[in-house]
Chains A and B, each alone.
Chain A
Amino acid sequence: MGVKQELSNALWITWKDLMELRRSKLRMAMMILMPVIMMAMISFIFPSSSNVLNSIPVATVNNDIGLQGSYLLGTLTSISALNNTLAFKNAASFEEAKDKIIQGEASGAIIIPENFSETLKNQNYTANIIVLIDDSNPQISQMLSQILIQAINGMSQAQAVMNVSGYAQQRQVNPVSIIVPYSAKYQGVSGSGGSYIEFMIPGLLMMTMITSVMTGLPRAIAYERDVGTLSGFLVAPIHRISIIAGKVLGHVIQGLIQGVSSLILAILLFGITIHGNILWVLLTLFLGVFSFVGLGIVLTSVAEDEQTASMIMMTLTMPMLFLSGIFFPIQMMPSFMQTIAYCLPFTYAIDAIRRIMIFGVALTSVGVDLLVMISFGVVMLLIAIPTFNRAMTR
């Protein structure tokens, strides 16, 4: 008896689970494929800065009587032809442009007013260009308006440089410094482009591991209880904790296999770099799983059968996933949702793994996160073990 024997018991139970997994080729294939497919999907459907916008149709309406209007449109066309972001098509009037947007033939329109050249020549007013946007699609409209406004402002600046060039020559200064005395240049602290996939990968890793344990563990125990094989463990002279530990370890290893295989894929396909120490990454992943093991066991004990167990798990994990900041930054949520998010241990696990993987910080700087994870895990385990014991001898 003693700790060594109990440890050996737990390991044998783990061995059994892993053998079953190894023998079932399809299950193993799916286990590895699932996170890989998920990651590939997420990284391909979510926008990244470079390759997303391609040939967005934009209608142009030139009402200008003078020449400046067509000059501006010509320049815009040749610029966008370089990177192929926008595809311009002519429209006769404001109404026609609007119609094209409603029909879905264009995502936006640029309308140059009648007196455009006149106003420019006058130099008493700023000439206005109307940018019409399909605001039924928020993502596209936001991006397109940014691009168009940026382009138009750029043109306007170029015009301004020309306008003030005489004056600048007189004072022997660079005309740009007159027009734009200062500007902002932004830079990420991670040192890597700060793409969406970079933001996602750590969270996805943590999610894969935790859901693997959270849904896998109760399902596996409930299943063994349903088919009766759990009685074999319960009637053996082994400590109940060994049964739990063995089962948990089996699922942690499965989660690790899933996590590591998706990490390797992320590195190969998306050129992700891990900035933090790989050991800290693994430790944080492990702690993330640990914090949820107790909850998983409590739910196993509560659920009467496998189906109930899965349903409880789904109901619990889905909102946790969305609130944890894996997909959307928590800062972008409404404040009451943020409050809820900060009550969930998942959030801290995601925060820790992200900061370690992206910024390469030391464990001490995610101390609060780790502390929350550990305390939640310990408290849940303290509740879980007696609950499990009682449930098993119901």
Chain B
Amino acid sequence: MTSIIETENLTKVFRGKVRAVDGVTFDVKKGEIFGLLGPNGAGKSTLIRLLCTLTRPTSGTAKVVGFDVVKEANDVRKHIGLVAEKMIMYNHLTAYENLLLFGKLHNVPKETLTKRIDDLLELVQMSKWRNTRVGDFSTGMRQKINVIRGLIHMPELLFLDEPSLGLDPQSSVDIRELTQKLNDEHGVTIILTTHYMDEADMLSDRIALVDHGKIAALGTPAELKKQVSGSDTVILDVNICNLAPEIVAGIKSLECVDKVLAEKPNELKIFARGQGSVDNIIDVVRSNGGKIDMIKNVEPSLEDVFLKITGRKAEEKTIRGNNEGRRRPWSGGFH
């Protein structure tokens, strides 16, 4: 398969010191859904902005749809669609007018444009709202218009930046189905950033875990999970009704235990490896007077992969301590 994105040592440094994207090299194949996963401030948005020609790399190169993002920016722009985290639409204009404006700016011929707008509205079942102002829509409806707006010029490559952020469950499902449909039926290559692990898991053909501006791991969801649940690793959910600090300390001190997390009250998530590790854990809990209500072996999720690789949770809002933990100026999208 041919590559639609090729980057080499792509780097973006802000204000001479903050390395938002730090020497990233990767390929995206034509026709795949490629997930970019990582906590806020990991550099996902900056990476997307670099690939969309919205910001210039400090060093390194990127080719998108065969064109250089700096030297041939306008050629790149002709072939890509962007659905940014901040919706690109004007509330005072109707759905039709918003689509018309961006169709015109992408030089879509007059004859095809009207039909295409109607087709796209049909695709997201919004035909009857064609002449309603976008400002009167619910967030879910607006997001649908926002997505098809990015498709108005039939791009080969679509960037979907946090498409289901802030949507109700039904709308999220709709957007996910739409994403899948675009990829399956229309052959659009999709770059999806999200920090919803299950969304990335469900949709992506391959996933890059982004952390500290670098790609920490890259592979299919199955490959990534194998890194966690490799040969002898087990993940246990243990429910202890009289959970006490001594019990946790006891489990942590075991040699076979990699990591212990307290996610809910009275519930522990334990990463362990090696033969007989389950037995050892149960022994420690009992010897400390703990009562086990339930114990179950869980399939690793991408969350676990992320945890294992970075030692942190992906959905936490502020990941970095000290001065890097401030909300960075570009994390909000445009700057």
A residues contacting B by CB (< 8 A) are 5, 8-9, 12-13, 15-16, 19-20, 23-24, 225-238, 304, 392-394
In the complex, B267 has a CB within 8 A of chain A: no
When A16-B93, A19-B93 are in contact, do A393 and B54 touch as well, CB less than 8 Å? yes
Contact among B77, B78, B97, B107 for A19, CB-based, below 8 A: B97
Are the CB atoms of A24 and B92 closer together than 8 Å?
A: yes
Chain A residues in 8 Å Cβ range of B106: 236-237
In the complex, B56 has a CB within 8 A of chain A: yes
Are the CB atoms of B54 and A234 closer together than 8 Å?
A: yes
Chain B residues in 8 Å Cβ range of A12: 101, 104-105
Are the CB atoms of A231 and B74 closer together than 8 Å?
A: no
Are the CB atoms of A237 and B77 closer together than 8 Å?
A: yes
The 4 closest A-B pairs by CB, nearest first: A228-B86, A232-B88, A23-B92, A237-B77
Can you name the residue of chain A whose Cβ is closest to the Cβ of B77? A237
Are the CB atoms of B334 and A16 closer together than 8 Å?
A: no
Are the CB atoms of B335 and A304 closer together than 8 Å?
A: yes
A225–B335 alpha-carbon span in the complex (Å) = 8
Chain B residues in 8 Å Cβ range of A24: 92
Q: A236-B105, A393-B56 are in contact. List 15 more A-B contacts (CB 8 A).
A: A15-B101, A16-B93, A20-B92, A20-B93, A23-B93, A24-B92, A228-B84, A228-B334, A231-B54, A231-B86, A232-B88, A235-B53, A304-B335, A393-B55, A394-B335
Which of A19, A23, A228, A235 has the most chain B CB atoms closer than 10 A to its own CB?
Answer: A235
In the complex, B274 has a CB within 8 A of chain A: no
Are the CB atoms of A237 and B88 closer together than 8 Å?
A: no
Q: Provide the main secondary structure of the chain A interface.
A: helix
Are the CB atoms of A9 and B105 closer together than 8 Å?
A: yes
**A and B contact pairs by CB, cutoff 8 A, 6 listed:** A16-B93, A23-B133, A228-B86, A231-B84, A237-B75, A394-B335
Query: How far in angstroms is the closest Cβ of chain B from A109?
Result: 63
- Hey, what's the 0/1 contact readout for B91-109 against A, CB within 8 Å counting as 1? 0110001000110111100
Counting chain B residues whose Cβ lies within 8 A of the other chain, the interface size class is: 20 to 34
Which of A227, A231, A232, A394 has the most chain B CB atoms closer than 10 A to its own CB?
Answer: A232
Are the CB atoms of A232 and B78 closer together than 8 Å?
A: no
Can you name the residue of chain B whose Cβ is closest to the Cβ of A239? B74
Docked complex: B38-86 residues within 8 A CB-CB of A: 52-56, 74-75, 77-78, 80, 82, 84-86
Chain B residues in 8 Å Cβ range of A9: 104-105
Contact among A20, A231, A238, A392 for B82, CB-based, below 8 A: A231
B residues contacting A by CB (< 8 A) are 52-56, 74-75, 77-78, 80, 82, 84-90, 92-93, 97, 101-102, 104-107, 133, 149, 333-335
Are the CB atoms of B56 and A235 closer together than 8 Å?
A: no
A60–B334 alpha-carbon span in the complex (Å) = 73
Can you name the residue of chain B whose Cβ is closest to the Cβ of A17? B90
Are the CB atoms of B80 and A235 closer together than 8 Å?
A: yes
Can you name the residue of chain B whose Cβ is closest to the Cβ of A27? B92
A5–B84 alpha-carbon span in the complex (Å) = 26
Query: How far in angstroms is the closest Cβ of chain B from A220?
Result: 12
Can you name the residue of chain B whose Cβ is closest to the Cβ of A226? B334
When A19-B97, A230-B334 are in contact, do A236 and B90 touch as well, CB less than 8 Å? no
Chain B residues in 8 Å Cβ range of A234: 53-54
Are the CB atoms of B107 and A229 closer together than 8 Å?
A: no
Are the CB atoms of A227 and B86 closer together than 8 Å?
A: yes
Are the CB atoms of B105 and A233 closer together than 8 Å?
A: yes
Are the CB atoms of B89 and A229 closer together than 8 Å?
A: yes
Contact among B92, B97, B102 for A232, CB-based, below 8 A: B102
Chain B residues in 8 Å Cβ range of A393: 53-56
Can you name the residue of chain A whose Cβ is closest to the Cβ of B76? A237
A8–B149 alpha-carbon span in the complex (Å) = 19
Chain B residues in 8 Å Cβ range of A233: 105
Chain B residues in 8 Å Cβ range of A226: 334
Query: How far in angstroms is the closest Cβ of chain B from A16?
Result: 5
Query: How far in angstroms is the closest Cβ of chain B from A273?
Result: 39
Contact among A228, A229, A238 for B85, CB-based, below 8 A: A228
Are the CB atoms of A236 and B54 closer together than 8 Å?
A: no
Chain B residues in 8 Å Cβ range of A392: 54
A230–B86 alpha-carbon span in the complex (Å) = 10
Are the CB atoms of A394 and B55 closer together than 8 Å?
A: yes
Chain A residues in 8 Å Cβ range of B92: 19-20, 23-24
A156–B15 alpha-carbon span in the complex (Å) = 80
Can you name the residue of chain A whose Cβ is closest to the Cβ of B81? A235
Chain A residues in 8 Å Cβ range of B101: 12, 15-16
Chain A residues in 8 Å Cβ range of B149: 232
Query: How far in angstroms is the closest Cβ of chain B from A232?
Result: 4
Chain B residues in 8 Å Cβ range of A19: 90, 92-93, 97
Are the CB atoms of A238 and B105 closer together than 8 Å?
A: yes
When A226-B334, A304-B335 are in contact, do A231 and B88 touch as well, CB less than 8 Å? yes
Chain A residues in 8 Å Cβ range of B87: 228-229
Chain A residues in 8 Å Cβ range of B333: 228, 231
Query: How far in angstroms is the closest Cβ of chain B from A322?
Result: 35
Chain B residues in 8 Å Cβ range of A227: 86
Query: How far in angstroms is the closest Cβ of chain A from B279?
Result: 55
